[in-house]
Amino acid sequence: MPFCRLTRSAAAGAAAAMLAVLTISLALPARAQQPATSTSTPDGEVFALKLPAAATPAANEASGTVQFIGTATVLIRYQGFTILTDPNFLHKGDHVHLGYGISAERLTNPAIELDKLPAIDFVVLSHMHEDHFDKLVQEKLPKDTPIVTTKESAASLEKLGFTRGIGLGKWDQVEVEKGESRMRLTAVPGRHGKAGMQALLPSVMGSMLDFGPNKAAPTYRMYISGDTLVYDDLKNIPQRFPGIDLALLHLGGTRILGVFKVTMDGKDGVQLLQIIRPQHAIPIHYNDYDVFKSPLADFAREAKAAGLEEQVSYLAHGETYSFKPRTR
């Protein structure tokens, strides 16, 4: 979630609005946890998404790909599924608007145009900000596209006319079926800002993608961080989902008004790697807007210092990472 520099008067107004909400949020008592509903399981609610079968069965495909399009937008293709994350297809010089009179300018172009994408089975949307779901996407993406996201974002999508939003709470799952292919997506913890900032920011989810029919032994396990900071709840992820094959990390070190950090910087990204312990990682969301404060070089330096450089692949816009299931 990038934020641009403001004029002095605009910045003062935005800061005042933010600080007012922040003051109120800090003064409110903590909410008690709600009891699970009758439709919940110990791991959350379970939803079903059945997709039309492909003409050629692909459940036994031996390899998959992750193509970096830009920002947090990647195209994942594996076992017959084609999945798009956080679609942002604006161009260099375009702006996104993020509330409180704040906007940000894009510095790069997407590697693929929106209208040149292959057929998409579903979208994974970490949260509802325009740098993750821009005005072009809101207008041009078919309204019947399945979109897996937070409950808050699903409500916003419905107001925009999207008819197949699936809103998840923490640990909720979507069982996806496409012909012979099976996968599960689980919403895992994510938090866009530190405690007290949440009243200013949308709810965020990380995502765990487990491919294959066997819940206990997926053929491939992929983690997408979403726009999160490092906090204690993330330690629950590897406990519930050991053996992560690939992690996609949202970096950038974005700060609101130059003060409040709302996405991971390079040091945070390495700390998350040490918590999640994936076999491999790809950094994304690091250089596309004018207010990212932590360049990719920060992460590369920290990863090398931690002895993790061999576990990281750095993709330029348009480049593709290929993977195969490992022997477990």
Query: For residue range 173-197, what is the model confidence (pLDDT) as tens digits?
Result: 999 999 999 999 999 999 887 766 6
Task: Summarize pLDDT for 144-180 with one digit per residue, the tens.
Answer: 999 999 999 999 999 999 999 999 999 999 999 999 9
State residue 9's pLDDT score: 41
Average pLDDT on 124-136 reads 93
**Looking at residue 315, which CATH number applies to its domain?**
3.60.15.10
Instruction: Tell me, yes or no, whether 165 lies in a domain.
Output: yes
Instruction: Tell me, yes or no, whether 2 lies in a domain.
Output: no
Instruction: Tell me, yes or no, whether 21 lies in a domain.
Output: no
Residue ranges making up the domain that contains 135: 43-322
Two structure tokens written together for 288:
């596309």
What is the Cα 64 distance to its own chain's centre? Answer: 19
Cα distances (Å, whole numbers) of residue 286 to 111, 272, 300, 317: 15, 16, 12, 11
Query: Distance between CA atoms of 114 and 20, rounded to whole angstroms?
Result: 38
pTM: 0.86
Report how many domains make up the chain: 1
* Residue from 130, 204, 125 nearest 169 by CA: 204
Instruction: Tell me, yes or no, whether 119 lies in a domain.
Output: yes
User: Which segment of 45-49, 60-64, 129-133, 314-318 scores lowest on mean pLDDT?
Assistant: 60-64
* Residue from 67, 63, 93, 90 nearest 78 by CA: 63
Instruction: Tell me, yes or no, whether 207 lies in a domain.
Output: yes
Percent of the chain at pLDDT exceeding 70: 82
One DSSP character per residue, 102-167 reads -EEEB-S--SS-GGGPPPPSEEE-SS--TTTS-HHHHHHS-TT--EEEEHHHHHHHHHTT-S-EEE
Instruction: Tell me, yes or no, whether 125 lies in a domain.
Output: yes
State residue 215's pLDDT score: 86
Instruction: Tell me, yes or no, whether 73 lies in a domain.
Output: yes
Instruction: Tell me, yes or no, whether 294 lies in a domain.
Output: yes
| Rg for the chain, CA atoms, rounded | 19
Q: Is it the case that residue 135 has pLDDT exceeding 80?
A: yes
Q: Is it the case that residue 80 has pLDDT exceeding 50?
A: yes
